Structures are given as C-alpha cells and as structure tokens.
Amino acid sequence: MHEVLKPGLLLVALTAASCAGPHPKTGAGTDGAAGGTTAGGGGAGGTSRGGLGGGRGDAGDPGDSGVGAAGETAGTPSTDGTFGIGGVTGSGGTSASGRTSTTGGTTATVGTSYPEGNGDAGVDAPMGGTGGSGGTGGNGTGYVASGARCVGLAANCSPSKNESCCTSLRVEGGDFYRSYDGVSYTDKGYPATVSTFFLDKYEVTVGRFRAFVESGMGTQANPPAAGAGAGIAPGTGWDSTWNSDLEVDTFMLKSGLAYYSLYGTWTIKVGSNENLPINCVTWYEAFAFCAWDGGRLPTEAEWNYAAAGGSEQRVYPWGPTEPDTSLTVFSCLGDGISGCTLADRLAVGSKPLGNGKWGQSDLAGSMCEWVFDWNGTYSNDCQNCVNGTSDLNRVYRGGSFNQISSALKAAYRTGRAPGNRYMEIGLRCARSEP
Ligand SMILES: [Ca+2]
C-alpha cells in the first residue's frame, strides 16, 4: 500500500642499503674511520679491537606516489555476467582515479649491533650491523569496480554525469556498534565485526532497474536460482519459497512498479527519470535485482557500518552536521521549496558533499534502502551476521526524500513488509570482496 513514513606499484618496501663498515688495517692497526652512515652503519675501524656494532638503519622512504594504473584501468566489466572486478591497486601509489596514497613509510628498525672483531691479528673487523628494514609504503585507496549489468547503459551518474551508475566502492572492514552514534543512540550492546566488502556508490537507478525488468527477470516466470545472491553469512541466498512473492510475469511487474504513479520513479517508457533512484520495489524484487546484477543486498550491519563510517560511529554519513540541502535530499526540499512535489526526487549522487566515509552517495536521504535482515531484535554476537529470524518486516535504512532528519541518521532502524511497495524505499547493492 502507499504509505508514507511518519516524520519520524606496487610499492616495494624500501630495504635500507647494505652497510659494510670500513675494514681495519693489518698489523699495528691505525684507528679506522667511523662506522658507516647509511643504514646499519659499519663497525669502527680496528685498533687492537675489533669493530663495533653497526648503527641505526635509515628510516624507510615514505611511500611514493605510485602509479595505480595497472589496477585501475583493469576495471573492465566481466563478460560472464558476474561482478566486473576493477583492478586492485597495489599497495602504495595513487590510483588511476586520482586518489592519493596514504602517508609514507614507517620508520626503519634499528640495525642489529655486531660483536667486536679480532683487531690485533689484523683480521678485518666484522661488518657493521645489518641495516634496518625500510618503511612500508602507503596504501593506495582507489578501487572502482563496475557491475556487468551497466554494459550498454550510459555512464552518466554523478553531478558531472560522467561516472558509471554501477560504480562500487570498497568499504574497509572493522568493528563497530550497530545502531549507535553516541549522541541520540547510546546503547553499546550490539557490537559487530564486518569484513571488507563493496557497496555501490549509488542507489539503483530507474535505468538500471529497467534493464533488469526488460530482461524478463525478477518474476515468477524467471525467479533467481535457489541460493543466488548469497552473502557471507549462511542461509542468505535466494530461497525458492520466495518465488511466489514475485509478480507473475514482466507485464505484472511493470504494472506493479507503475502503480504508485504519483511518486513512483518508474516510467512505462524511457524518460527523464532514468537516473532517479528506483522506488516502489518489493524486498523480493530488490533481492532479485542485486542477484541478477552480480551482487547481493547488503546486510543491515554492513549498511549501518558504511553509513556510520565504521568505528567513527558518525551520526550521519558525512559526520555530525545536521542535514541541509547541500548535503542530502530530504524533507521534500529537493527542489529547494517547502512542500512535496515530484521535483523533490533528484538524480542519484546529486549531493556529493553528503557522501559517506568510503564515498557512497545518498546513504542518508533520497530513498530508504532495503537490506537483507529481518527487523527483529538484534543478536548480541555479530561476525558478519544477519538477522535471519523471520519477522513481519524486513529492515530498510537511511531515510528518504520526503522524510525528516531523524530518519536519516545512520543509527536509525526500522522495517516494513517485504512484499509491499513503498514510495520511500529503493535499494543499493553490495558485493563480497573478490
Ligand atoms: Ca538513500
């Protein structure tokens, strides 16, 4: 039913130069020169004593601004319909997409000292100590992968309209507290660990969803295969008993999408809404779309982790600042004017200032987003968990174009019936790390 939410270069680690100290002279043994100055300086020259141990290794060079092109330019979509894997940028280096490397290397370790040599006999004193190991180069952060299903679709997302709408960005895993921000959500009772994964930069657009619909998929006639779209947690693949929750065929699917014509973004024919986020999709259709797209629905913990900036526990994806129209699409202010109109729904990625820690757009606002989990009580233990206990509702998160700021908080949690269509709810897909 039509419902409105209540406001509510691999950069090689530089090894310090080898470091032989000057050798002592034979016989009487004039004092030798001082130990080496490079990493692991050599022993002092022999008198009657052997050389002393080596010095301290040089600090490792900082990580260079490397060339990430090998990885980045390899980001071609796969041809077998699965997730196209962008090249992984090697550690160190600036990615082809211009991301900067992190700061340079760590300080070298101290060289090992060396025992005294046999100076009297004119035997060469032993070399100085071993130089310290070089610092580790900085880690490049660029990684962009594009879903195979955007082949043939214009790469016209982002405010500059020059990016694939299927861009997917890496979210570095870690620990955090679910539905916690330390401000208005202060219960630390639900810690979780999330492994590194990929989360699409954009909500799924009408154009992407149209390709899915036109393929004939996502219906009882062509449901996902059993087990498709599974995530890390067991039991997260498509359950064939859900087939009957899909529309009978493509005609009925199109009818369903068009039913809420007032605020539904779907259009019968290709039109001006192609880069708007799709809404009025059931949870089952959202699941089927992501499986077809070579991905999956994010788990609630993953979505929450990305929106909260992981352990930063951000109130909003961009930080603590209260929402405004420079940051997000919300409160029916998409057109800049009070009151809800069709013009309040904007193209995905319209507010890049509101992007999250890992670059995803519209995690807050635009459309709420279905996630995998049932909307039951959280489990206490969560290692890449999902809430798989059946409930009336599936969880959706993030708030929408017509909801107020409190619904946009990263910690805000609610759910709706998975078989219904809501004008506030769309989706974005996740992908497990290849
Ligand atoms: Ca959203």
Domain locations in the chain?
1-30+139-434, 35-137
Q: What is the pLDDT of residues 216-232, one digit of tens each?
A: 999 999 999 999 999 99
CA of 105 to the centre of ligand 1 (A): 38
CA of 196 to the centre of ligand 1 (A): 21
DSSP string for residues in 372-386: EEESSPPPS--BS--
- Which CATH architecture does the domain made up of 1-30+139-434 adopt? Alpha-Beta Complex (3.90)
pLDDT for res 148: 56
CA of 369 to the centre of ligand 1 (A): 6
Q: What is the mean pLDDT of residues 175-186?
A: 98
pLDDT confidence of 354, banded at 50, 70, 90? very high
pLDDT for res 256: 95
**CB count, 10 Å around CB of 261?**
11
Query: Is pLDDT of 63 > 70?
Result: no
Q: What is the mean pLDDT of residues 142-151?
A: 56
Query: Is pLDDT of 55 > 70?
Result: no
Query: Is pLDDT of 116 > 90?
Result: no
Query: Is pLDDT of 427 > 90?
Result: yes
Checking 235-241 for CB contacts under 8 A at 24+ apart, the result is: 235/386, 235/388, 236/296, 236/299, 236/372, 236/386, 236/388, 238/287, 238/288, 238/291
CA of 370 to the centre of ligand 1 (A): 9
CA of 176 to the centre of ligand 1 (A): 21
Query: Is pLDDT of 349 > 80?
Result: yes
CA of 383 to the centre of ligand 1 (A): 25
pLDDT confidence of 147, banded at 50, 70, 90? low
CA of 120 to the centre of ligand 1 (A): 79
* Number of continuous H segments (helices) and E segments (strands) in the chain: 5, 10
CA of 415 to the centre of ligand 1 (A): 14
pLDDT for res 149: 76
Q: What is the mean pLDDT of residues 332-346?
A: 96
Q: What is the mean pLDDT of residues 160-178?
A: 95
CA of 365 to the centre of ligand 1 (A): 5
CA of 363 to the centre of ligand 1 (A): 4
CA of 348 to the centre of ligand 1 (A): 9
Q: What is the largest CA-CA distance in the chain?
A: 101
CA of 347 to the centre of ligand 1 (A): 11
Q: Which of 59-68, 141-150, 232-241 is predicted least confidently?
A: 59-68
CA of 396 to the centre of ligand 1 (A): 10
Of residues 156 and 50, more confidently modeled: 156
Q: What is the mean pLDDT of residues 198-215?
A: 96
CA of 126 to the centre of ligand 1 (A): 66
Q: What is the pLDDT of residues 20-29, one digit of tens each?
A: 233 322 223 3
By the CB criterion, residues less than 5 angstroms from ion ligand 1 are: 362, 366-367, 398
Give me 70's structure tokens.
């090998």
Cα–Cα distance, 18 to 130 (Å, whole number): 7
pLDDT for res 107: 31
Mean predicted lDDT score pLDDT of the chain: 74
Q: What is the pLDDT of residues 242-301, one digit of tens each?
A: 999 999 999 999 999 997 668 999 999 999 999 999 999 999 999 999 999 999 999 999
Query: Is pLDDT of 53 > 60?
Result: no
CA of 65 to the centre of ligand 1 (A): 34
CA of 349 to the centre of ligand 1 (A): 10
- Torsion sign, CA atoms 348, 349, 355, 361: positive
Query: Is pLDDT of 119 > 70?
Result: no
CA of 367 to the centre of ligand 1 (A): 4
